[in-house]
Amino acid sequence: MLSELQDGKSKIVQKAAPEVQEDVKAFKTDLPSSLVSVSLRKPFSGPQEQEQISGKVTHLIQNNMPGNYVFSYDQFFRDKIMEKKQDHTYRVFKTVNRWADAYPFAQHFSEASVASKDVSVWCSNDYLGMSRHPQVLQATQETLQRHGAGAGGTRNISGTSKFHVELEQELAELHQKDSALLFSSCFVANDSTLFTL
């Protein structure tokens, strides 16, 4: 079989004809003025030819910029990050554990030097503290016992439950729309909407 492949006479493995090889393009690099030809020949050329080529074109940005100036992207981004830290807009993850019986208070663990401290959280999406309402807790416990934790899959395979469908119907009725669609977060909702548009 190996000899058949080498001779191009295999009955099992056949080379596709050029007309069906749509991803194969003719690529000429023999033009003397081509930058591509210079960059492709450079690694394989001898020392003398490399010296001649290096005076014309290299892969380094600073060697292809007019003059000696090269923009320092690293410093630019360091400065931008420092500006955000100075004006307190640099985002960091806050480590907080909410107190179920003392809304909106929570334990704050973000500072490594401090064990924890109590803080009040006013940026939560747990509006009105409904996550600790007795009826919500009871319904959650009953559902966990019956169906387990988690959706069990993404929405398009096995992760859409009757609860999702019923909530979407209620939201559509509330807003007087034909239908509604649940998302796991505001970010995912925005991302999906903007991508679709």
In sequence order, the β-bridge partners of residue 108 are 96, 117
pLDDT digits (tens, 9 = 90+) for 36-66: 555 555 555 444 544 454 456 666 666 666 6
How long, in residues, is the chain? 197
State residue 148's pLDDT score: 94
Q: For residue 146, give every residue at least 6 positions away whose Cβ sits within 8 Å of its Cβ, in sequence order, or none.
A: none
Cα distance between residue 56 and residue 41, in whole Å: 13
State residue 149's pLDDT score: 92
Q: Which residue has the tokens 């009826």?
A: 135
State residue 125's pLDDT score: 82
State residue 73's pLDDT score: 80
Eight-state DSSP code of residue 185:
S
Indicate the pairing of strand 105-108 with strand 96-98. antiparallel
Asked if residue 103 lies in contact with residue 129, where contact means CB atoms within 8 angstroms, the answer is yes
Extract the residue ranges of the chain whose pLDDT is less than 70.
Answer: 1-2, 4-6, 8-70, 113
Q: Is the pTM of this model over 0.75?
A: no
State residue 51's pLDDT score: 47
In terms of DSSP H, where are the helices of the chain? 2-7, 35-41, 47-54, 61-64, 73-86, 134-147, 162-174, 186-196
User: Which helix or strand (DSSP H or E) is residue 123 part of?
Assistant: none
State residue 50's pLDDT score: 47
State residue 142's pLDDT score: 96
State residue 20's pLDDT score: 57
State residue 6's pLDDT score: 65
Three-class HEC string of 9-58: CCCCCCCCCHHHCCCCCCCCCCCCCCHHHHHHHHHHCCHHHHHHHHCCCC
